[in-house]
Amino acid sequence: MPNIHRHLITTSDELTWKFDRPVIFLGEWCRTYDRKHIWQNMDAIVAKPYGLGQLKKDADHLEARQLEDKLFPLLCEVLNKHHKTEHNERFWKIIIGHWFRRYIHLMLNRYKTLEKCLKSYNISGVTFHKNDQYALAPLDSNSAIFAANDSRWNDALNCNLLNLINYKNFPIEYIHVDDQIGFRFNSSRKSKTIKKTLQLCFVILEKATRLFTGSHDALIMHSYLLLKEEIKLNLSLGQFPRLNYPINFEVLEKPDKILRLALTEKLYQSAENNIWGILNKMLFQMIPVCYLEGFSRLSKISNDQPWPKAPKFIFTSNDFDTNEVFKFWVANKVKKGSKYFIGQHGNNYGTYRYMNPSIEEIISDKFLTWGWRDNLSQHTPAFIFKIASNRKSISYNPKGSLLLIEDMRYHRLDTWDRCAEYSIYSEDQIKFIRKLLKCPLNKLILRLHSSFKYNNPSEQEFWKENIQSIKIDIDSPIVKLISQSRLVVYSYDSTGILETMAQNIPTIAFWQNGLDHLRESAKPYYRSLIDAGVIHTTAESAASKINKIWNDIDGWWFSSEVQSARESFCAKYARVSPTPINDLKSLLC
């Protein structure tokens, strides 16, 4: 253990920093790029990241699932008693399952990150904000996702955890503040005027379509199909297509501290300061308001929706997680006998090591995949819904640009340190670009992930300082960019890889940690793509391949080796159907 004592900094909020003594940042999330001119001049180190490497991730993943299976039935019991209901676990899992799993992962990460730091370094003190009225409970599941990256919210959480861990060998300093009652996130990015105008138009059109809707019609909600294909699907089912307008649901209630303390006493199973005891102690401090104080109003709003009274089935590919009104409505209809079908939402399903299975796979009667089948009875092979249509596939330009598609800076919702991984990822991007020869480099267009505007706002600044002449695109439709490119490069294991390869568009991908993130069953298919030069496990290898094939991308892409690997992979994970509506109808009915 280093002998020097350092003041612990847990967030990027500089009000809690100390500039007159040695400090230790708990993680890279404390050091935002736009404040580099501040933190690079401090006597500071960054604590070693928690949870990296396949073995550690595997162990934590197993522990998280065991904790989830143990605690969730207890939570359901307390919620039923409080709300005077008798809902089964499937009902509650449909409504709160996604939030609850993220809660387990996040708390395991925060607890073990602090624990590792405290055991590895000499801490001289720590500073937190102090406001007894501040609540950790977010409004809803979507708000909880954004809270994970919020500095004030994490400050309050770390303060609670440190007191529960009960480390007394250094002082805690408090800054008294008069802030909001708790974290609030408004997901709407439209002005109120536009939102109200659109809402009115949708309501009028929806009321018109409601006249032709039967009480037993299926409800198809945000299926991932193009609108015209979703209309065709409805017609093929013998029902009039519905227009499902955006649900105007806003959580108005505030956290009830007394209620939450009372429920904690009913749930709390352990006085130990380990992860199990802390999960019990913190659960009702952090459960979203809409599931507790706002439950009755959410129930009423859900029941008031103009959807079929007894749908023969419900199908969605998008609304199973954060659409609170829809989830509550689904849970009630499923309890009364309606079937619930969910379509695959992007990549990782069937391949990702730490989503096995996902909540949506568990809660559905059928989970429609993009071609694969695993060990759940719900798994039903289908095809990629996003590109399912009779229109011509996306084209590309054999003489066009080199398109590099960037990953997002993820919310801190995993058991491991996502920020540390992203720092390595950013370094890989620089390595890749600097290894490109002049011809492909001059044609390079960098496409930032759309989330950078709110999740990583200094990303453009990072690029302009490191690669001065780089062309950055943030707004063009991705389909347009692909059509102007001769080669699409994904710097992470992306949904886009499935989409471009399924449409036979020249594609290369590279990422860190090799195939560690994959299930064993998926690795042979990825290895065949590695052998064909499509996937690379280092930035340097990907750049070298591009330099080699740049003047004849098609010659490489349409070679028998590449096409054989592509076809085998797509048949498993990115199937395309020549008759998508007929196929989907047969799977749903």
Q: What is the CATH number of the domain that holds 481?
A: 3.40.50.2000
Domain that holds residue 417: 401-573
Nearest to 340 by CA among 365, 370, 358: 365
CB atoms within 10 A of CB 378: 19
Both 224 and 355 in one domain: the answer is: yes
Q: Look at residue 392 and tell me whether its pLDDT is greater than 60.
A: no
- Please state, for a pLDDT cut of 90, what percent of the chain lies above it: 81
Q: Look at residue 87 and tell me whether its pLDDT is greater than 50.
A: yes
Round to whole Å and give the CA distance between 7 and 26. 10
Both 325 and 449 in one domain: the answer is: no
The confidence band for 192, taking pLDDT boundaries of 50, 70 and 90, is very low
Count of the separate structural domains present in the chain: 2
Q: Look at residue 237 and tell me whether its pLDDT is greater than 50.
A: yes
> What tokens appear for 12 in the block?
């990027």
Residue 3 within a domain: no
pLDDT tens sequence across 96-135: 999 999 999 999 999 999 999 999 999 999 999 999 889 9
Residue 300 within a domain: no
Q: Is there a cis peptide before residue 398, judged by omega within 30 degrees of 0?
A: no
Query: What values do phi and psi take at 149, rounded to 5?
Result: -105, 0
Q: What share of the chain is helix, strand, coil (3-state, %, to 5)?
A: 45, 10, 40
Give the dihedral sign, CA 405/410/415/418. Answer: positive
Both 451 and 375 in one domain: the answer is: no
The pLDDT value recorded for residue 326 is 97
The pLDDT value recorded for residue 269 is 64
Round to whole Å and give the CA distance between 557 and 529. 12
Residue 322 within a domain: yes
Q: Look at residue 394 and tell me whether its pLDDT is greater than 90.
A: no
Residue 98 within a domain: no
Round to whole Å and give the CA distance between 10 and 195. 38
Residue 33 within a domain: no
Residue 156 within a domain: no
Both 471 and 507 in one domain: the answer is: yes
Both 474 and 564 in one domain: the answer is: yes
Q: Look at residue 431 and tell me whether its pLDDT is greater than 60.
A: yes
Both 409 and 350 in one domain: the answer is: no
Query: What values do phi and psi take at 381, rounded to 5?
Result: -60, 130
The confidence band for 1, taking pLDDT boundaries of 50, 70 and 90, is very low
Strand 23-25 and strand 339-343: the pairing is unpaired
The confidence band for 469, taking pLDDT boundaries of 50, 70 and 90, is confident
Both 236 and 210 in one domain: the answer is: yes
Both 513 and 546 in one domain: the answer is: yes
Round to whole Å and give the CA distance between 343 and 418. 27
Both 381 and 472 in one domain: the answer is: no
Q: Look at residue 259 and tell me whether its pLDDT is greater than 60.
A: yes
Place of tokens 């490489």: 556
Both 435 and 385 in one domain: the answer is: no
**How confident is the model over 554-569, as a mean pLDDT?**
98
Residue 513 within a domain: yes
Cβ contact 61:38 at 8 Å: no
Round to whole Å and give the CA distance between 146 and 454. 10
Round to whole Å and give the CA distance between 320 and 343. 10
CB atoms within 10 A of CB 180: 12
> What tokens appear for 292 in the block?
């507790």
Round to whole Å and give the CA distance between 507 and 234. 34
Q: Look at residue 67 and tell me whether its pLDDT is greater than 70.
A: yes
Average pLDDT over the chain reads 92
Q: Which of 6-10, 258-262, 459-463 has the lowest mean pLDDT?
A: 459-463
Round to whole Å and give the CA distance between 170 and 114. 14
Both 494 and 443 in one domain: the answer is: yes
Place of tokens 């200094």: 458
pTM of the prediction?
A: 0.94
Residue 438 within a domain: yes
Both 406 and 537 in one domain: the answer is: yes
